[in-house]
Amino acid sequence: MHVAMIGTGYVGLVSGACFADFGHTVTCIDKDADKIARLQAGGVPIFEPGLETLVAQNVKAGRLFFSTEASEAVRGADAVFIAVGTPSRRGDGHADLSYVYAAAEEVAGLVEGFTLVVTKSTVPVGTGDEIEAIFNRVRPDADVAVVSNPEFLREGAAIEDFKRPDRVVVGVTDDRAREVMRELYRPLYLNETPIIFTGRRTSELIKYAANAFLAMKITYINEIADLCEAVGADVQQVARGIGLDNRIGGKFLNAGPGYGGSCFPKDTLALVRTARDAGAPMELIETTVKVNDARKKAMAEKVGRAVEAELAGLTVGVLGLTFKPNTDDMRDAPSLDIVPALQARGAKVQAFDPEGTHEARQLLRDVVFKSDPYDAAEGADILVIITEWDQFRALDLDRIKLLMNRPVMVDLRNIYKPDDMRARGFTYTSVGRA
């Protein structure tokens, strides 16, 4: 089948490359000429494990193309996916749908024959209805079906999540559209992937409900971690003890500095606003947002308590800046709250991240960026682990200790064991553990 993918961000580029790998012919479209030129030249504008190879293979096979012009690809498409950004709107937290509606307007003027218009972007309930209204206004003669097909891709594991998903959700009201979506995802039927067909509004809500639940789960275990510290318990053992209950599950029970990234912060806010507008406020999610925001800001205080002194004049080495490992995404990363809070207390910050330095330079001020974890530790009074990159899990701790002014580590991801660190002579602080 022929697919046009509007948008080449994380969702659009990964989805386009994976559909091409399924055997479909895909054209990814973006108005950013520099990004398209880079893709056409064989580069990939984002860091996602395996993506560069997947893109190259499918370009070479003649199944994956890139363009700044939508006309030809949309006219020949069986399905046009809208995968543009839906950031939080300034001032009120609603999802900014201007990019989605602009894409729909453009597509409406180009479609020929029966075409699916599929929202891959995360959009609030009722967005599909608005897209349908755009088509009725701009091209009342167009033979289109508007479909919701939310993504459930984890950055750092997006290709695996697309090809071996827990489920595929499709919100559709047209039988012809249902068959096209079945054909697009036909390779997944071989793996017996559950493909759930629902109403369009239900599909849109499933995405928000899933992300909000996971955000709430993270916030819950973080509050349990605070209680563990107060009473002398171990949050990792608590998480294992409750996670073995199949009704709870062990995922998203890792205590840390709070959630960030491109999805949870904006999606929880958007769900809160949608619920309030609908007269059905979600107080659990509102509290989740509030607690998570406060937690990220409070991490600087935890660093200060580790040295039992004012941070003014001290040098803090930071390991990890992205919101999670295996991505270069800095959106709403905990480091964006923690680093400025450390600086506000008078600390000097030097930092290293394997992939996020380029983005971090645009977002953080007066930080000295280092070339590796040992460079970040050299001359530091405190070393803080914010992101749990694999290369931070097996540091040469004896070398780290020699490089630092004093052996103080604040491990916000619980990578190391407290007893081992104390035995090596470190003053060691973690999350939710004695």
Ramachandran bin of 130, using left for φ above 0, alpha for ψ from -120 to 50, beta for the remaining angles: alpha
Q: Which residues pair with 119 in a beta bridge?
A: 82, 148
41 class by beta-carbon count within 10 Å (0-12 exposed, 13-18 middle, 19+ buried) = exposed
Compute the chain's Rg from CA coordinates.
23
Contact 161, 153 (CB under 8 A): yes
Measured CA to CA, the distance from residue 191 to residue 140 in angstroms comes to 39
Q: What is the DSSP letter of 87?
A: P
DSSP at 371: S
> Could you confirm whether 263 is annotated as catalytic?
yes
Please identify which of the residues 18, 28, 228, 263 carries the catalytic annotation. Answer: 263
23 phi and psi angles, rounded to 5 deg: 110, 0
Query: What's CA 231's distance to the chain center, in Å?
Result: 33
> Closest Cα to residue 65, out of 34, 117, 19?
19
SS3 133: helix
Give the residue ranges of DSSP H helices in 232-334: 235-243, 264-277, 283-307
Distance between CA atoms of residues 318 and 339, nearest Å = 8
* Two structure tokens written together for 122: 């995360």
Catalytic site positions: 263
